[in-house]
Structure 1
Amino acid sequence: MKRDGAEKKDKHIERQPLSFLSLVKDYRFNSVLFRSFFLILIVLFCAFFAILFLVISRMDRITDEQVRSVSQSSLSQAADHMDSIIQEAATIAVKLSLDDDIVDFLLADMEDTSENYPETFRAKKKLEDYASIFSYIDSIYVYSRKNDYVVTDTEGRTVQLFQDRNWYDNITERIYEPARMMSRMKYGYYPYLISYIQPVRLTQMQYLGGIIVNIDVDQISEYTSATGDEIFLTVDDRDNVIFSSVEPYRMKKRTELSVLDEYDADGASSQMIEGDGRKLIVSTVDSDVFNWKYIAIVPTAKYQTYRNGLGTFAVRLSVLIVIVSVVSAILIALYSYSPIRHILSLVKDPEQYNPDTSAGFKKDETQVIISNIVHNFYSNHELQEDLSQYLEITNKAQVTALQAQISPHFLYNTLESIRWQAIALSKGDNDVSRTILKLSQLLRISLDNDRSIISLKEEMYNAEIYVEILQLRYKDKLLVEWNIPQQLYNCQIVKVSLQPIIENSVSHGIKPKRVQGVVKISAWTEDRMAFVEVADDGVGMDEEACRRLNEDMSNPYAMREDHIGVRNVNQRLKLLLGEASGIRIFSIKGKGTRVILHFPLTTVSEDAGSQQFDRREHQI
């Protein structure tokens, strides 16, 4: 072969080193090396800083989301605590309103206003028991409208002599309203209280008085988790500030708070606003129990540490990007310039071509350019040798294809010969001959590569052939029921998809039972999808085995020709009918298994499907 001569010619080229300093001297900044370096450096800078910008922007959004999430979570916890406290106060008020001693006090006709009056004494004793339950309860009042008298856990007086009575107008002027809350100051100056007012009626129109449970605001502030500059508010449906963790905002309207001027009450549950010259995060949570909402106001400065860390990270990453970009640009420029240097060395000194020395060039574009001249003279002969090899391979492939065409016919003819011998030996048709006939039909169907997708009617016919073989073997131990609507007969399905499923049901479900089993095949449509179910009443499988098998069904597969089973059918459904197709398996240990094939609902033309079906029946 002359290839050896071509390889010998490769050794004709000798490379002389070319100094970079001489290139710089000759071309200066017009050198391809320098231009490549700066171009690569600019590209790397743009790419890296674009990535840096995206990363920083994303991290900034993540930080903002985390800050909002932390604020919202803290507010939700505080809201739960507040709801629980108010519910406990409401529960106490309701229980007292139903207590016999309290009702006796409200109904009593007291001839004097002495604290030692029996009904007064019993009511006071009852209040003492309830007032000591929770530390945040400042006091509990019971107001008798009939006697215009107030009894507490510590005393009993007429309203005129009772010092703390700024709740009185609320309870007497709104007697027909339900239970409610009000924010007020005890004795008109301190402490701040939240009073839960529970009216007491004997009938709808007979008003007896009310229960007032006073909650100490300072005592419950510790449940709000508000620290430093954080503010926690409770606002009712009339925009009254019922509770505030800071004193200046107590007993006001929400609309009167300058810090919430930019707050949108109908907006998102977490907002970023400007208030009192600061950036604030305002989070809101609706009460799960009462008709009010909780508001948390947190300065963004509280989370400045996160943002400072993000800025430090950005600076460090920028420095690293500059260093990596410069080093990478130098290395890439030098590497990409190397072939040009090799060619220039040959152009500058053509006499370096020496047929008796090795070229020393790397196998790259430079070698292609130089070796092309050396190899040109020998290329025709090499092409002729390659063409001869290709022709030889083609001839072998043709012979193999012809043999492959003969093999199926040989198998069909052999099975048919065995069938007729069985008929001859038994002097008539028998189970063996019928089994061989069905097997021959199945073999012809499986090896028919004309179509991969057929109508459901054809697939039913193919599966029934296999069922007949099984029933020849199992006889009355196997019962197969078909329940497929006729309107689905022209639905497209992958060929040889039901037989493997039925085989699996019999082998792994019915056979281990050792008693008669039933396999039911049914079909239906839903949301432009077709479903075919093969269900058996066999031994089934445990939950873990079923889960693993369904996981296998969801994994991507390549087409396989050496095995047709449940996984293979699932794989072919996905490849031929789309990723929306596949198999789902449901099984209960000891009760049976359901295998459901699902695929897009498409149909073949009725004429084409009938012609193909009739042709296949005729061939078989």
Structure 2
Amino acid sequence: MWKKLIEKFKDLKIGTKIIVCYLIIAVISMSISTLIYQKINARIMTEKVSEMALQTLQTIDANLNLLIYTVNNESKILLSNQGIQEVLASGSEKFNYNNQMKVNRYLTEFIQSNMFISSVYIFDNYGNKFYVDKRTFQVFSIYDVMRSKWYDKLVEAKGGYIIKLTGKELYNKPNERYVSMMRIINDLDTQKPIGTMIINIPEDAIINSFKDIMKDGEAVIQLKDGNYNDIIHSNDLDQYNLDDNFKKLKTGEHFYSIKKVEGKDYITSYLRNSLNWTIVSIVPYQELSKQSNIYKVVLLAMFLFNGILSLSGLIFTSSSITRPIHKLIKSMKGVEKGTFIKVNIATGNDEIGELKNVYNTMIQKIENLIEEIVKEQKIKRKAELDVLQSQIKPHFLYNSFDAISSLALDNRSQEVYQIIKALGNFYRTSLNNGKEVITVEEEVQTVRNYLTIMQIRYDNLFTVDMDIDERVSKYKILKLVLQPLVENSIYHGIKPTGKKGRIFIGAYSKEAYIELIVSDDGIGMDEEKLKSLTKGGTPGIGLRGTIERLNIFYNGKSKFKIDSRLDAGTTVVIYIPIEEVEDYEQ
């Protein structure tokens, strides 16, 4: 159904399309705006309150857990101290001053390095007490610990810790609050109880653990233990009228409520954490008093949204009309530069669609004409290449027979045999079943056969060095590229000097090209002759024919460079592009 509607829309006139698009966008915009406006007032405050309350409680709980975790780790270090272990394990009913001083020294070092611990008390199994207290010394004994309500849980923990509010029950000080971490100390070797440890965490250390949460001193934090006794609280907490429903919370559960106190709105949040403590957070929520401002901002945002959406719709509609026209214009301008590209855009059966179809039909016909011309040019180029190739073969054959004739007149039959065999191998490779393309390796072997002929003919007039990169051996190139260059080095370079010379042949991979080098230390040429040669004024078939063949075969992509000095030799470098070779035999 949607596809049919889209197709019908494409067939509409341009003016009708603009009207339809604008009406659809306006209806959608107003509908969305109305829906958002209705929902935002009902949900934004609830979501904000819930999110802020939960984040505050979770942050406080995380900070408390970190504090307890740190104290727990520090207590493990203390109870595993070898000196304390030895004193507790060897305890007796008699007071031992040396043991007392030894343990107290360990405790002093421990408590000085832990600012969040106010005191540490350790008892051995005989009631001997070892302690360090930064504040007021607490008068109590191991028997007071054993008579407490939570002692059974301490024993059941088997070395694990329990945390209790101990001011009233242990120290008999109802108005003072001490959060104590207690654990049985076991012998590290036998795991039998050898003592009891009590570490007291002061109220200010707990407050400092979530100090950053108190915004400008207005936030109120309260902690209640499992019996709902205050661990910490503010003096003026009664005015906030806490909800007794927090006593029904289970571990991990939380809820919040919003109450007004002295004209201000407050979020009161409750969370029961893993220690069975209840965390109460009372935070002023000033954003509630700015509700009217929020509505104004929302209304303004809606107007802006509608305006932007409407503008976007008009721009889109205009673009859908002008974009294909611009593409048509761009393609038509490309024709001036010789670029023929069809316009590929989705259109219907409107005016633009008809214009696109007519233009693409014209481009297709032009491309067909160009393709026919290219084919004709390829045939012509192939014919030119065949003519040049046919000139090279008789030229080389003539020179070879000249060499064989000279050897035969000198009665050098063995060398005549060798040169004829090399000549046969040379033509076997060069003919290559009529194909014009061979591998670099085959081209090098053709040159070797040619050099065998020439070294016999001229009685080792020259030496040859080769450096062929194995990476280029399997690349295919036009055949008989190196041989004419080597022939020039012999006839026009070394032979005129009348003395023995050297020829170097190299093949390398240079980025996207195969680099072929033929160099000799022959007679060379002067600057004027070199300049004439590089401009195409070279006589003879060898170098000129090679350059012309490469230009035809590789569509002008091949390059060459000639470097020569009089009496210092000549170097010819040819660069052949590494690419898929076109089959010219088709």
TM-score band by shorter chain is 0.3 to 0.5
**Could you state the TM-score of these two structures normalised by the residue count of structure 2?**
0.43
